[in-house]
Amino acid sequence: MRLTILSLVISFGFLAMTVRAIRRRVLGEQVAMIWLGVSACMVLLSATLPTHLLDRAARLVGVAYPPELVLLLAALFLVVLVFHLSIAQAKLQSKVTRLTQELGLLKAGSPDGPTEDLERIH
């Protein structure tokens, strides 16, 4: 019972963190949904500890040691998440590159007055 309370506290703490981040608009909508889902899963797992839901689920998919199921799912989730973030990062990278190029071109101005433009910048 003590373990259930402890994990419930941690889960709700995480849920509160997520909600706070969403309300302060520091999480994107898509990512906010993912983390709300994670929070919900954590709460569900904690709340069902006394009913041995996890053990039954593990037996159902043929995992002999129930905690392994949690670890497996967690690892899978993290791999997918990092993959998703890699893609997002690469997209941002190419956007920043293009912005940098456009800014450089804009600052340099038209080809007939290069030195004048440069003097103005420095």
Partner 1 sequence: MASGPPEADPVEADATAVPFGGTRLCIIVPAFNEGPSVAKVVVAIQSALPSAQVVVVDDGSKDDTSIQAADAGAHVITLPMNLGIGGAVQTGYLYAQRNDFDIAMQIDGDGQHDPREARFVIEPILEQRADMVVGSRWLGRGEYKAPSGRRLGMRILSRLIKWRTGQTITDTTSGFRAVGRPGIALFAQSYSSDFPEVEALVAAKQCGLVIEEVPVQMQQRLHGRSSIAGLQSSYYMMRVVVALVVDSLQWKEHP
Where do contacts with partner 1 occur on this chain (CB under 8 A)?
Answer: 96-97, 100-101, 103-105, 107-108, 110-112, 114-115, 118, 121-122
Q: How many angstroms from the chain centroid is the CA of residue 35?
A: 7
CB of 9 to partner 1, least distance (A): 45
Q: Taking Cα atoms as reference points, which of 34, 41, 53 lies closest to residue 10?
A: 41
Q: Is the CB of 56 or the CB of 107 nearer to partner 1?
A: 107
CB of 87 to partner 1, least distance (A): 14
Please give the full DSSP string across 39-69, using - where no structure is assigned.
HHHHHHHHHTGGGTHHHHHHHHHT-SSHHHH
Q: Is the CB of 33 or the CB of 83 nearer to partner 1?
A: 83
Q: Is the CB of 6 or the CB of 96 nearer to partner 1?
A: 96
Q: Which residue blocks in the chain are alpha helix, DSSP H? A: 2-23, 29-47, 53-61, 66-108, 114-121
Q: Is the CB of 71 or the CB of 88 nearer to partner 1?
A: 88
CB of 102 to partner 1, least distance (A): 8
Q: Read off the amino acid at residue 80.
A: V
